[in-house]
A and B are shown apart, each in its own frame.
Chain A
Protein backbone atom coordinates (compact mmCIF):
# COMPACT_ATOMS: atom_id res chain seq x y z
CA UNK A 1 0.00 0.00 0.00
CA UNK A 2 1.71 3.14 -1.19
CA UNK A 3 0.64 6.66 -2.03
CA UNK A 4 2.51 8.53 -4.77
CA UNK A 5 2.77 12.31 -4.87
CA UNK A 6 3.25 13.42 -8.47
CA UNK A 7 6.50 15.28 -8.82
CA UNK A 8 6.44 18.12 -11.34
CA UNK A 9 7.58 21.70 -11.28
CA UNK A 10 4.34 23.25 -9.99
CA UNK A 11 3.89 20.99 -6.99
CA UNK A 12 3.92 22.10 -3.35
CA UNK A 13 5.40 18.71 -2.66
CA UNK A 14 6.95 19.31 0.74
CA UNK A 15 3.67 20.45 2.29
CA UNK A 16 1.74 17.44 1.04
CA UNK A 17 4.54 15.07 2.02
CA UNK A 18 4.63 16.60 5.52
CA UNK A 19 0.86 16.16 5.85
CA UNK A 20 1.18 12.45 4.95
CA UNK A 21 4.02 12.11 7.45
CA UNK A 22 1.75 13.57 10.14
CA UNK A 23 -0.81 10.89 9.19
CA UNK A 24 1.91 8.18 9.28
CA UNK A 25 1.13 7.31 5.66
CA UNK A 26 3.96 5.73 3.61
CA UNK A 27 4.46 7.63 0.35
CA UNK A 28 6.85 8.42 -2.45
CA UNK A 29 7.38 11.56 -4.51
CA UNK A 30 7.91 10.59 -8.12
CA UNK A 31 7.52 11.43 -11.81
CA UNK A 32 8.40 7.89 -12.88
CA UNK A 33 5.42 6.12 -14.57
CA UNK A 34 6.60 2.71 -13.32
CA UNK A 35 6.55 3.93 -9.74
CA UNK A 36 3.18 5.56 -10.31
CA UNK A 37 1.90 2.23 -11.70
CA UNK A 38 3.06 0.48 -8.53
CA UNK A 39 1.24 2.87 -6.23
CA UNK A 40 -2.34 2.52 -5.00
CA UNK A 41 -3.39 6.15 -4.87
CA UNK A 42 -2.13 9.38 -6.39
CA UNK A 43 -1.96 12.88 -4.94
CA UNK A 44 -1.62 15.57 -7.56
CA UNK A 45 -0.71 18.87 -5.85
CA UNK A 46 -0.11 22.22 -7.50
CA UNK A 47 0.51 25.90 -6.96
CA UNK A 48 1.21 28.70 -9.38
CA UNK A 49 0.18 29.22 -12.98
CA UNK A 50 -1.83 26.72 -15.07
CA UNK A 51 0.11 27.11 -18.32
CA UNK A 52 3.67 26.25 -17.16
CA UNK A 53 2.19 23.54 -14.93
CA UNK A 54 0.62 21.79 -17.95
CA UNK A 55 3.87 22.21 -19.89
CA UNK A 56 5.76 20.58 -17.03
CA UNK A 57 3.31 17.63 -16.94
CA UNK A 58 3.62 17.13 -20.70
CA UNK A 59 7.40 17.14 -20.53
CA UNK A 60 7.32 13.85 -18.63
CA UNK A 61 4.15 12.52 -20.33
CA UNK A 62 2.50 12.69 -16.93
CA UNK A 63 -0.56 14.21 -18.63
CA UNK A 64 -1.12 10.99 -20.58
CA UNK A 65 -0.53 8.86 -17.51
CA UNK A 66 -3.04 10.87 -15.46
CA UNK A 67 -5.70 10.71 -18.18
CA UNK A 68 -5.43 6.92 -18.48
CA UNK A 69 -5.10 5.82 -14.87
CA UNK A 70 -7.93 4.08 -13.02
CA UNK A 71 -6.26 4.57 -9.63
CA UNK A 72 -7.81 7.03 -7.17
CA UNK A 73 -6.39 10.51 -7.87
CA UNK A 74 -6.71 13.51 -5.56
CA UNK A 75 -5.92 16.86 -7.18
CA UNK A 76 -5.19 19.73 -4.81
CA UNK A 77 -5.65 23.43 -5.69
CA UNK A 78 -4.03 23.88 -9.14
CA UNK A 79 -3.89 20.07 -9.32
CA UNK A 80 -7.69 20.00 -9.11
CA UNK A 81 -7.99 22.84 -11.62
CA UNK A 82 -5.85 20.97 -14.16
CA UNK A 83 -8.37 18.10 -14.13
CA UNK A 84 -10.79 20.38 -16.02
CA UNK A 85 -10.87 21.04 -19.76
CA UNK A 86 -9.45 24.55 -19.85
CA UNK A 87 -8.76 27.74 -17.94
CA UNK A 88 -9.04 31.45 -18.57
CA UNK A 89 -5.56 31.60 -16.99
CA UNK A 90 -3.33 32.12 -20.02
CA UNK A 91 -6.20 30.57 -22.03
CA UNK A 92 -4.59 27.23 -21.23
CA UNK A 93 -5.69 23.64 -21.84
CA UNK A 94 -6.22 21.27 -18.94
CA UNK A 95 -6.28 17.48 -18.79
CA UNK A 96 -9.94 17.44 -19.85
CA UNK A 97 -10.94 14.75 -17.36
CA UNK A 98 -13.76 16.81 -15.82
CA UNK A 99 -15.97 18.97 -18.08
CA UNK A 100 -15.74 22.71 -17.47
CA UNK A 101 -13.59 25.82 -17.84
CA UNK A 102 -11.88 27.67 -14.98
CA UNK A 103 -12.83 31.33 -14.64
CA UNK A 104 -11.22 34.27 -12.87
CA UNK A 105 -12.82 35.93 -9.85
CA UNK A 106 -14.15 39.41 -10.53
CA UNK A 107 -11.69 41.64 -8.65
CA UNK A 108 -13.97 44.67 -9.00
CA UNK A 109 -16.29 42.99 -6.46
CA UNK A 110 -13.93 41.63 -3.77
CA UNK A 111 -10.24 41.18 -3.18
CA UNK A 112 -8.54 38.59 -5.37
CA UNK A 113 -6.99 36.08 -4.65
CA UNK A 114 -9.61 34.44 -2.47
CA UNK A 115 -7.19 33.95 0.41
CA UNK A 116 -7.98 32.49 3.80
CA UNK A 117 -10.37 30.15 5.57
CA UNK A 118 -13.84 29.45 4.22
CA UNK A 119 -16.65 26.93 4.72
CA UNK A 120 -18.74 24.79 2.37
CA UNK A 121 -22.07 26.29 1.37
CA UNK A 122 -23.34 22.89 0.31
CA UNK A 123 -21.89 19.40 0.53
CA UNK A 124 -22.97 15.99 -0.83
CA UNK A 125 -22.12 13.80 2.13
CA UNK A 126 -22.92 10.58 0.26
CA UNK A 127 -19.37 10.57 -1.18
CA UNK A 128 -16.70 9.03 1.08
CA UNK A 129 -14.27 11.94 0.52
CA UNK A 130 -16.60 14.44 2.22
CA UNK A 131 -18.96 12.16 4.17
CA UNK A 132 -17.69 13.45 7.51
CA UNK A 133 -18.28 17.12 6.72
CA UNK A 134 -21.04 19.69 6.93
CA UNK A 135 -20.98 23.45 6.47
CA UNK A 136 -19.22 24.30 9.74
CA UNK A 137 -15.62 23.26 8.97
CA UNK A 138 -13.15 25.80 7.60
CA UNK A 139 -10.55 25.05 4.93
CA UNK A 140 -7.65 27.20 3.70
CA UNK A 141 -7.94 28.59 0.16
CA UNK A 142 -5.54 30.61 -2.02
CA UNK A 143 -6.70 31.01 -5.63
CA UNK A 144 -7.69 33.56 -8.24
CA UNK A 145 -9.40 31.14 -10.65
CA UNK A 146 -12.36 28.92 -9.81
CA UNK A 147 -14.28 25.96 -11.23
CA UNK A 148 -17.97 26.76 -11.75
CA UNK A 149 -20.43 24.45 -9.98
CA UNK A 150 -21.55 21.56 -12.20
CA UNK A 151 -22.93 18.03 -11.76
CA UNK A 152 -19.55 16.71 -10.60
CA UNK A 153 -19.37 19.20 -7.71
CA UNK A 154 -19.33 17.42 -4.31
CA UNK A 155 -19.06 20.57 -2.20
CA UNK A 156 -19.40 24.23 -3.07
CA UNK A 157 -17.96 27.32 -1.44
CA UNK A 158 -19.01 30.93 -1.82
CA UNK A 159 -16.68 33.85 -2.49
CA UNK A 160 -18.07 36.53 -4.81
CA UNK A 161 -20.12 33.61 -6.19
CA UNK A 162 -20.61 29.86 -5.67
CA UNK A 163 -17.79 27.72 -7.01
CA UNK A 164 -16.59 24.11 -6.76
CA UNK A 165 -14.69 23.37 -3.54
CA UNK A 166 -14.59 19.58 -3.93
CA UNK A 167 -15.19 17.63 -7.14
CA UNK A 168 -15.37 13.99 -8.14
CA UNK A 169 -15.72 12.11 -11.41
CA UNK A 170 -15.10 8.37 -11.56
CA UNK A 171 -11.73 7.71 -9.84
CA UNK A 172 -10.73 11.39 -9.92
CA UNK A 173 -11.25 13.71 -6.95
CA UNK A 174 -10.15 17.25 -6.33
CA UNK A 175 -10.11 19.93 -3.63
CA UNK A 176 -9.73 23.62 -4.43
CA UNK A 177 -8.46 24.37 -0.91
CA UNK A 178 -5.25 23.07 0.65
CA UNK A 179 -6.16 20.14 2.94
CA UNK A 180 -2.48 19.87 3.91
CA UNK A 181 -2.72 23.41 5.37
CA UNK A 182 -6.26 23.26 6.75
CA UNK A 183 -5.63 22.08 10.29
CA UNK A 184 -7.60 19.13 11.59
CA UNK A 185 -10.42 19.51 9.06
CA UNK A 186 -7.93 19.21 6.21
CA UNK A 187 -6.22 16.22 7.81
CA UNK A 188 -9.62 14.54 8.03
CA UNK A 189 -10.24 15.04 4.32
CA UNK A 190 -6.84 13.56 3.49
CA UNK A 191 -7.60 10.66 5.82
CA UNK A 192 -10.91 10.13 3.98
CA UNK A 193 -9.00 9.92 0.70
CA UNK A 194 -6.48 7.47 2.18
CA UNK A 195 -9.29 5.30 3.59
CA UNK A 196 -10.92 5.29 0.16
CA UNK A 197 -7.63 4.16 -1.40
CA UNK A 198 -7.16 1.50 1.30
CA UNK A 199 -10.68 0.13 0.83
CA UNK A 200 -10.02 -0.35 -2.90
CA UNK A 201 -6.62 -1.99 -2.57
CA UNK A 202 -7.60 -4.64 -0.02
Chain B
Protein backbone atom coordinates (compact mmCIF):
# COMPACT_ATOMS: atom_id res chain seq x y z
CA UNK B 1 0.00 0.00 0.00
CA UNK B 2 1.25 3.47 -0.88
CA UNK B 3 2.62 5.03 2.30
CA UNK B 4 1.91 8.58 3.45
CA UNK B 5 5.17 10.52 3.41
CA UNK B 6 6.85 12.43 6.24
CA UNK B 7 9.03 15.22 4.89
CA UNK B 8 11.31 17.31 7.11
CA UNK B 9 12.16 20.72 5.66
CA UNK B 10 15.60 22.30 6.11
CA UNK B 11 16.19 26.01 5.57
CA UNK B 12 19.52 26.70 3.92
CA UNK B 13 21.42 29.98 3.94
CA UNK B 14 24.83 30.29 2.28
CA UNK B 15 25.15 26.50 2.24
CA UNK B 16 24.36 26.01 5.94
CA UNK B 17 21.16 25.07 7.77
CA UNK B 18 19.57 27.86 9.73
CA UNK B 19 17.17 27.77 12.68
CA UNK B 20 18.36 26.41 15.96
CA UNK B 21 18.71 22.78 15.10
CA UNK B 22 19.84 21.01 18.21
CA UNK B 23 20.50 17.35 17.61
CA UNK B 24 22.65 15.31 19.88
CA UNK B 25 25.39 13.37 18.18
CA UNK B 26 25.93 15.71 15.26
CA UNK B 27 29.43 17.05 14.96
CA UNK B 28 28.08 20.12 13.24
CA UNK B 29 24.37 20.89 13.44
CA UNK B 30 24.69 23.52 10.73
CA UNK B 31 25.89 21.06 8.10
CA UNK B 32 22.91 20.25 5.84
CA UNK B 33 24.47 17.00 4.63
CA UNK B 34 24.93 15.68 8.13
CA UNK B 35 21.45 16.73 9.22
CA UNK B 36 19.92 15.25 6.07
CA UNK B 37 21.69 11.97 6.73
CA UNK B 38 20.37 11.98 10.27
CA UNK B 39 16.76 12.53 9.15
CA UNK B 40 17.13 9.91 6.44
CA UNK B 41 18.44 7.34 8.95
CA UNK B 42 15.54 8.14 11.28
CA UNK B 43 13.01 7.28 8.59
CA UNK B 44 12.24 10.51 6.72
CA UNK B 45 10.65 9.57 3.39
CA UNK B 46 11.84 12.63 1.51
CA UNK B 47 13.62 15.89 2.29
CA UNK B 48 13.02 19.46 1.22
CA UNK B 49 15.86 22.00 1.20
CA UNK B 50 14.69 25.57 1.02
CA UNK B 51 17.42 28.01 0.06
CA UNK B 52 16.93 31.45 1.52
CA UNK B 53 20.23 32.83 0.21
CA UNK B 54 19.62 36.15 -1.45
CA UNK B 55 22.51 36.73 -3.82
CA UNK B 56 23.20 35.17 -7.17
CA UNK B 57 26.88 34.45 -6.51
CA UNK B 58 26.07 32.49 -3.42
CA UNK B 59 23.58 30.33 -5.32
CA UNK B 60 26.55 28.51 -6.83
CA UNK B 61 27.14 27.27 -3.30
CA UNK B 62 23.70 25.68 -3.50
CA UNK B 63 24.59 23.61 -6.57
CA UNK B 64 27.75 22.40 -4.83
CA UNK B 65 25.71 21.56 -1.75
CA UNK B 66 23.16 19.62 -3.83
CA UNK B 67 26.00 17.51 -5.24
CA UNK B 68 27.18 16.66 -1.74
CA UNK B 69 23.68 15.81 -0.54
CA UNK B 70 23.02 13.62 -3.58
CA UNK B 71 26.20 11.64 -2.96
CA UNK B 72 25.32 10.91 0.64
CA UNK B 73 21.52 10.61 0.72
CA UNK B 74 19.60 7.65 -0.69
CA UNK B 75 16.06 9.04 -0.46
CA UNK B 76 14.46 11.62 -2.78
CA UNK B 77 14.96 15.30 -2.10
CA UNK B 78 13.53 18.57 -3.37
CA UNK B 79 15.33 21.88 -3.63
CA UNK B 80 13.49 25.19 -3.62
CA UNK B 81 13.88 28.89 -3.00
CA UNK B 82 14.35 31.62 -5.59
CA UNK B 83 14.48 29.33 -8.63
CA UNK B 84 13.32 31.31 -11.66
CA UNK B 85 14.61 29.75 -14.90
CA UNK B 86 14.76 26.49 -16.82
CA UNK B 87 18.55 26.79 -16.71
CA UNK B 88 18.61 26.96 -12.90
CA UNK B 89 16.26 23.98 -12.71
CA UNK B 90 18.54 22.01 -15.03
CA UNK B 91 21.61 22.87 -12.93
CA UNK B 92 19.97 21.64 -9.73
CA UNK B 93 18.56 18.45 -11.28
CA UNK B 94 21.86 17.61 -12.94
CA UNK B 95 23.60 18.18 -9.61
CA UNK B 96 21.39 15.40 -8.22
CA UNK B 97 18.19 16.98 -6.87
CA UNK B 98 15.17 14.78 -7.59
CA UNK B 99 12.67 17.63 -7.71
CA UNK B 100 12.63 21.40 -7.66
CA UNK B 101 10.06 23.51 -5.88
CA UNK B 102 8.92 26.66 -7.70
CA UNK B 103 6.98 29.43 -6.01
CA UNK B 104 7.12 33.16 -6.86
CA UNK B 105 8.65 32.63 -10.31
CA UNK B 106 5.75 30.54 -11.62
CA UNK B 107 3.21 33.08 -10.39
CA UNK B 108 5.08 35.81 -12.28
CA UNK B 109 5.71 33.55 -15.26
CA UNK B 110 3.28 30.58 -15.34
CA UNK B 111 4.75 29.38 -18.67
CA UNK B 112 7.83 28.28 -16.70
CA UNK B 113 5.82 25.29 -15.40
CA UNK B 114 5.04 24.15 -18.96
CA UNK B 115 8.62 24.58 -20.13
CA UNK B 116 10.19 22.87 -17.13
CA UNK B 117 7.67 20.05 -17.12
CA UNK B 118 8.17 19.36 -20.83
CA UNK B 119 11.92 19.42 -20.53
CA UNK B 120 12.44 17.51 -17.29
CA UNK B 121 9.15 15.67 -16.69
CA UNK B 122 6.22 16.55 -14.44
CA UNK B 123 7.53 14.25 -11.71
CA UNK B 124 10.28 16.71 -10.75
CA UNK B 125 8.26 19.94 -10.84
CA UNK B 126 6.72 20.86 -7.48
CA UNK B 127 4.48 23.93 -7.48
CA UNK B 128 4.77 25.56 -4.05
CA UNK B 129 1.82 27.74 -3.13
CA UNK B 130 1.63 30.04 -0.10
CA UNK B 131 -2.06 30.61 0.62
CA UNK B 132 -3.70 32.98 3.07
CA UNK B 133 -7.38 33.34 3.82
CA UNK B 134 -8.72 36.68 2.56
CA UNK B 135 -12.46 37.21 2.81
CA UNK B 136 -14.17 34.08 1.55
CA UNK B 137 -11.22 32.78 -0.47
CA UNK B 138 -7.53 31.97 -0.13
CA UNK B 139 -5.13 34.34 -1.86
CA UNK B 140 -1.73 33.43 -3.30
CA UNK B 141 1.19 35.23 -1.67
CA UNK B 142 4.68 35.44 -3.15
CA UNK B 143 8.17 36.65 -2.21
CA UNK B 144 8.25 34.69 1.01
CA UNK B 145 4.72 35.71 1.94
CA UNK B 146 5.31 39.45 1.62
CA UNK B 147 3.20 40.19 -1.47
CA UNK B 148 -0.52 39.45 -1.86
CA UNK B 149 -1.07 38.71 -5.55
CA UNK B 150 -4.87 38.80 -5.19
CA UNK B 151 -4.96 35.49 -7.11
CA UNK B 152 -7.41 32.84 -5.93
CA UNK B 153 -5.25 29.99 -4.59
CA UNK B 154 -7.64 27.22 -5.67
CA UNK B 155 -7.76 28.52 -9.25
CA UNK B 156 -4.00 28.95 -9.31
CA UNK B 157 -3.40 25.40 -8.05
CA UNK B 158 -5.72 24.05 -10.74
CA UNK B 159 -3.83 26.05 -13.35
CA UNK B 160 -0.46 24.84 -12.05
CA UNK B 161 -1.67 21.25 -12.33
CA UNK B 162 -2.93 21.79 -15.87
CA UNK B 163 0.36 23.40 -16.89
CA UNK B 164 2.26 20.28 -15.83
CA UNK B 165 3.20 20.46 -12.15
CA UNK B 166 3.65 16.97 -10.71
CA UNK B 167 2.95 17.82 -7.11
CA UNK B 168 1.65 20.71 -4.98
CA UNK B 169 3.44 21.90 -1.84
CA UNK B 170 0.64 23.75 -0.09
CA UNK B 171 1.56 26.10 2.77
CA UNK B 172 -1.13 27.73 4.85
CA UNK B 173 0.18 31.14 5.87
CA UNK B 174 -2.59 31.44 8.43
CA UNK B 175 -1.34 28.32 10.17
CA UNK B 176 2.40 28.56 9.50
CA UNK B 177 4.30 29.04 12.74
CA UNK B 178 1.20 28.68 14.93
CA UNK B 179 1.70 25.00 15.82
CA UNK B 180 -2.11 24.76 15.91
CA UNK B 181 -2.46 22.16 13.15
CA UNK B 182 -2.60 22.12 9.35
CA UNK B 183 -5.39 24.04 7.57
CA UNK B 184 -7.80 21.16 6.97
CA UNK B 185 -10.37 23.33 5.15
CA UNK B 186 -7.74 24.44 2.65
CA UNK B 187 -6.48 20.87 2.18
CA UNK B 188 -10.00 19.58 1.59
CA UNK B 189 -10.82 22.37 -0.83
CA UNK B 190 -7.69 21.59 -2.86
CA UNK B 191 -8.14 17.83 -2.72
CA UNK B 192 -11.70 18.11 -4.04
CA UNK B 193 -10.34 18.70 -7.56
CA UNK B 194 -6.62 17.86 -7.52
CA UNK B 195 -5.41 14.71 -9.32
CA UNK B 196 -1.72 15.09 -8.34
CA UNK B 197 -0.29 14.59 -4.84
CA UNK B 198 -0.44 17.39 -2.27
CA UNK B 199 2.08 17.99 0.51
CA UNK B 200 0.55 19.71 3.55
CA UNK B 201 2.69 22.42 5.10
CA UNK B 202 2.26 25.00 7.84
CA UNK B 203 0.95 24.52 11.34
CA UNK B 204 2.32 21.18 12.54
CA UNK B 205 2.77 21.22 16.31
CA UNK B 206 1.91 17.71 17.42
CA UNK B 207 1.81 14.16 16.10
CA UNK B 208 -1.95 14.43 16.05
CA UNK B 209 -1.80 17.33 13.60
CA UNK B 210 0.02 15.11 11.10
CA UNK B 211 -2.58 12.36 11.60
CA UNK B 212 -5.42 14.87 11.02
CA UNK B 213 -3.83 16.24 7.84
CA UNK B 214 -3.86 12.74 6.38
CA UNK B 215 -7.16 11.42 7.78
CA UNK B 216 -9.28 14.57 7.63
CA UNK B 217 -7.43 16.59 5.00
CA UNK B 218 -6.45 13.70 2.65
CA UNK B 219 -2.85 14.95 2.46
CA UNK B 220 -0.50 12.63 0.56
CA UNK B 221 2.48 13.87 2.56
CA UNK B 222 3.13 16.13 5.53
CA UNK B 223 5.99 18.57 5.66
CA UNK B 224 7.28 20.08 8.86
CA UNK B 225 10.34 21.87 10.14
CA UNK B 226 10.11 22.95 13.72
CA UNK B 227 8.48 19.85 15.21
CA UNK B 228 11.51 17.88 14.13
CA UNK B 229 14.04 20.62 14.85
CA UNK B 230 12.85 21.90 18.22
CA UNK B 231 10.22 19.71 19.79
CA UNK B 232 12.18 16.57 19.20
CA UNK B 233 9.37 14.47 17.81
CA UNK B 234 11.16 11.43 16.50
CA UNK B 235 10.13 10.57 12.97
CA UNK B 236 9.80 6.91 13.81
CA UNK B 237 7.67 7.71 16.85
CA UNK B 238 5.40 9.86 14.65
CA UNK B 239 5.11 7.02 12.14
CA UNK B 240 4.13 4.54 14.83
CA UNK B 241 1.39 6.89 16.03
CA UNK B 242 0.14 7.28 12.47
CA UNK B 243 0.20 3.52 11.97
CA UNK B 244 -1.85 3.03 15.14
CA UNK B 245 -4.45 5.27 13.50
CA UNK B 246 -4.58 3.01 10.46
CA UNK B 247 -2.35 5.12 8.20
CA UNK B 248 0.12 3.27 5.94
CA UNK B 249 3.67 4.41 6.69
CA UNK B 250 7.06 3.14 5.68
CA UNK B 251 9.45 1.79 8.27
CA UNK B 252 13.03 1.98 7.07
CA UNK B 253 14.92 -1.31 6.78
CA UNK B 254 17.39 -1.70 9.57
CA UNK B 255 20.06 -4.10 8.44
CA UNK B 256 22.94 -2.69 10.44
A residues at B contact (CB < 8 Å)? 14-15, 18-19, 21-22, 47-49, 107, 111-119, 137-138, 140, 142-143, 158-159, 178, 180-188
Task: Evaluate contact between A115 and B195: CB separation under 8 angstroms.
Answer: no
Task: Evaluate contact between B95 and A113: CB separation under 8 angstroms.
Answer: no
Among A22, A114, A188, the residue within 8 A (CB) of B255 is A188
A152 CB to closest chain B CB (Å) equals 24
Is residue B167 contacting chain A, with contact meaning CB distance below 8 A? yes
- Set of chain B residues within 8 Å of A143, measured between Cβ atoms: 123
Task: Evaluate contact between A181 and B98: CB separation under 8 angstroms.
Answer: yes
30 A–B contacts, CB within 8 A, in A order: A14-B70, A19-B74, A22-B74, A48-B120, A107-B195, A111-B220, A112-B195, A113-B122, A113-B166, A113-B197, A114-B2, A115-B123, A115-B167, A116-B2, A116-B220, A117-B2, A138-B3, A140-B76, A142-B76, A142-B166, A158-B1, A178-B76, A181-B75, A181-B76, A182-B74, A184-B252, A184-B255, A185-B253, A187-B74, A188-B255
- Set of chain A residues within 8 Å of B2, measured between Cβ atoms: 114, 116-118, 159
Task: Evaluate contact between B70 and A116: CB separation under 8 angstroms.
Answer: no
B residues at A contact (CB < 8 Å)? 1-5, 40, 45, 70-72, 74-76, 94-96, 98, 120-124, 166-167, 194-197, 220-221, 250-255
Given contacts A22-B74, A140-B75, A187-B74, contact A112 B196 (CB under 8 A): yes
Given contacts A48-B120, A142-B123, A159-B2, contact A183 B197 (CB under 8 A): no
Residue of A nearest to B40 (CB): A183
Among B70, B122, B123, B250, the residue within 8 A (CB) of A138 is B250
Known: A117-B250, A142-B123. 19 other contacts (CB 8 A): A15-B70, A15-B96, A15-B98, A49-B121, A112-B195, A115-B123, A115-B167, A116-B45, A116-B197, A116-B221, A117-B2, A117-B45, A118-B1, A119-B1, A138-B3, A142-B166, A181-B75, A183-B253, A184-B255
Task: Evaluate contact between A18 and B70: CB separation under 8 angstroms.
Answer: yes
Task: Evaluate contact between B71 and A21: CB separation under 8 angstroms.
Answer: yes
A107 CB to closest chain B CB (Å) equals 5
A142 CA / B124 CA spacing, docked (Å): 9
- Set of chain A residues within 8 Å of B122, measured between Cβ atoms: 113
List the 4 shortest-distance A-B pairs measured between CB atoms, nearest first: A138-B250, A184-B253, A48-B121, A117-B250
Given contacts A111-B196, A116-B220, contact A183 B74 (CB under 8 A): yes
B41 CB to closest chain A CB (Å) equals 9
- Set of chain A residues within 8 Å of B95, measured between Cβ atoms: 14
Residue of A nearest to B167 (CB): A115
Residue of A nearest to B74 (CB): A183
Given contacts A113-B122, A117-B45, A140-B76, contact A18 B71 (CB under 8 A): yes
- Set of chain A residues within 8 Å of B76, measured between Cβ atoms: 140, 142, 178, 181
Task: Evaluate contact between B252 and A113: CB separation under 8 angstroms.
Answer: no
A159 CB to closest chain B CB (Å) equals 6
Task: Evaluate contact between B3 and A116: CB separation under 8 angstroms.
Answer: yes
A7 CA / B94 CA spacing, docked (Å): 13
- Set of chain B residues within 8 Å of A137, measured between Cβ atoms: 253
